[in-house]
Amino acid sequence: MVVIFQYMIGNTDWSVPKNHNIKLLADKEDSSAKPFVVPYDFDYSGLVNTDYAVPAPALNLENVTQRLYRGFPRTMAELQAVLKIYQQQKGNIYTMIKNFEPLDKQNKKEMMYYLDNFYDMIDNPKKVQFTFIDDARLQ
């Protein structure tokens, strides 16, 4: 879920093993439960697209608006379950952007256009297969 979120917003400035722009919250009552992952600090994401943001040279990206899936391969069934949630929340995400007063009209338009590209991609099974399975990182 989190890795797809990072892909959706075009954020490559994070790392779970290094706890970089990610917090892992543990259930204090159940030590065997998986941690809850909370991403933060999105100024280097394509969705925010700040003037100063540049991608890490090792990623070979031209700019921060270029998306890169940094997760491991998943099965199509796993992906479909997660992508369905994003598809169901699309209207809520766009409404949140439209109603966020600190953003000007142009920023809102650019953000929704950026998200349109994500939603177009996840509606295409061949692109989902390539991005999240075939072209996913192996280590």
Q: What are the pLDDT digits (tens) for 97-133?
A: 999 999 999 999 999 999 999 999 999 999 999 999 9
For 93, counting Cβ atoms within 10 Å of its Cβ (0-12 exposed, 13-18 middle, 19+ buried), the class is: middle
Would you say the C-alpha torsion 37, 65, 74, 92 has a positive or negative sign?
A: positive
Non-local CB neighbours of 41 within 8 Å, separated by 6+ positions: 13, 14, 21
pLDDT at 134 over 90: yes
User: How confident is the model over 63-103, as pLDDT tens digits?
Assistant: 999 999 999 999 999 999 999 999 999 999 999 999 999 99
